[in-house]
């Protein structure tokens, strides 16, 4: 057994992560079109992210945001303009950020980790309990699976890969971040993208996909398509936490990563 196979087996992934005939990236090569709009009819654009949305339609505004309604008198300060910041100043700003209610219960903000000149940018949803404690994204169970997913396509955390989240502070109880929280945090991700200039972005799960592409995204419909985000291709796949609950879909995520790899030009 090769070292690679035994690694996957240890992680409980083999044989699901074996490349199958149907996972041939060439099969995907013709179908998705960079910048192709989604099937769903256009809807009004979200005010928080007006300029990034070539590929999918915009979301309807959510009914009264729970966090906004439940929030105590907000501690919030506006996110300053971070578009000119370098890495150190950006990370300092993220760590000091008090621009939404997520700052109130975090242990620390989790800016991101990895190779700042990576070809690959992986974007998750938000820190969980372990990430909040350790200050690094994807270090819990979902992170172990993410590392195995990366290994399955020959990648390693920190080497040609940068890992970030749509929101940098842990949503209490690991709830899904609210749209307004993701919108508030978005300038940080934008600046990370601008600094890294990745050759491919992989969105893990729906919140990440919606932050990156804008509007309403359904993973099942968005998989296998190549979206264009200001010239950077974006591929959407399942979140590792979902895959832990639905291991039968790991093979699809493996296909998606192969597709992403084949989409790097």
Site of interaction with ligand URA (CB under 6 A): 124-128, 131, 137-138, 142-143, 165, 241
The residue (of 234 and 241) whose beta carbon lies closer to ligand URA is: 241
Instruction: Output the smallest distance, CB 69 to ligand URA, in A.
Output: 24
Q: CA 224 to CA 25: how far, in whole Å?
A: 9
Q: CA 203 to CA 234: how far, in whole Å?
A: 7
Instruction: Output the smallest distance, CB 35 to ligand URA, in A.
Output: 26
The residue (of 56 and 169) whose beta carbon lies closer to ligand URA is: 169
Instruction: Output the smallest distance, CB 138 to ligand URA, in A.
Output: 4
The residue (of 32 and 137) whose beta carbon lies closer to ligand URA is: 137
The residue (of 120 and 138) whose beta carbon lies closer to ligand URA is: 138
Instruction: Output the smallest distance, CB 249 to ligand URA, in A.
Output: 16
Count helices and strands (H / E) in the chain: 11, 6
CA angle 36, 197, 84 (to 5 degrees): 115
Reduce the DSSP state of residue 202 to 3 states and report it: strand
The residue (of 23 and 234) whose beta carbon lies closer to ligand URA is: 234
The residue (of 49 and 204) whose beta carbon lies closer to ligand URA is: 204
Residue with tokens 């007006």: 50
- Residues 209 and 176 sit within 8 Å (Cβ to Cβ): no
Other C-beta atoms within 10 Å of 139: how many? Answer: 21
What is the arrangement of strands in the sheet containing 232-237, beginning at the earlier edge strand? 113-114, 161-165, 120-124, 200-204, 232-237, 227-229
Instruction: Output the smallest distance, CB 170 to ligand URA, in A.
Output: 9
Instruction: Output the smallest distance, CB 227 to ligand URA, in A.
Output: 19
Q: DSSP characters for 84-105?
A: T--HHHHHHHHHH--SSGGGGT
- What is the token pair recorded at 46? 């979200």
């Amino acid at each position: 057994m090769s070292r690679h196979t035994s690694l996957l087996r240890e992680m409980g992934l083999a044989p699901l992560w074996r490349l199958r005939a149907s996972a041939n990236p060439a099969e995907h090569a013709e179908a998705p079109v960079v910048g192709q709009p989604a099937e769903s009819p256009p809807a009004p654009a979200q005010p928080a992210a007006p300029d990034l949305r070539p590929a999918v339609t915009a979301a309807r505004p959510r009914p009264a945001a729970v966090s906004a309604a439940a929030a105590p008198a907000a501690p919030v300060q506006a996110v300053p303009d971070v578009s000119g910041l370098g890495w150190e100043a950006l990370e300092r700003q993220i760590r000091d950020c008090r621009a939404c209610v997520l700052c109130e219960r975090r242990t620390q903000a989790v800016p991101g980790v990895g190779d700042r000149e990576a070809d690959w940018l992986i974007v998750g949803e938000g820190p969980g309990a372990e990430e909040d404690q350790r200050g690094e994204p994807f270090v819990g169970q979902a992170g172990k699976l993410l590392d195995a997913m990366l290994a399955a396509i020959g990648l390693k955390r920190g080497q040609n890969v940068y890992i970030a989240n749509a929101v940098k502070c842990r949503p209490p109880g690991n709830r899904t971040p609210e749209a307004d929280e993701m919108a508030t945090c978005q300038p940080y991700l934008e600046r990370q993208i601008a600094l890294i200039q990745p050759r491919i972005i992989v969105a893990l799960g729906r919140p990440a996909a919606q932050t990156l592409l804008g509007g309403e995204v359904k993973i099942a419909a968005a998989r296998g398509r190549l979206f264009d985000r200001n010239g950077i291709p974006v591929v959407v796949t399942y979140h590792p936490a979902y895959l832990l609950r639905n291991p039968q879909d790991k093979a699809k995520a493996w296909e998606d990563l192969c597709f992403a790899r084949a989409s790097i030009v």
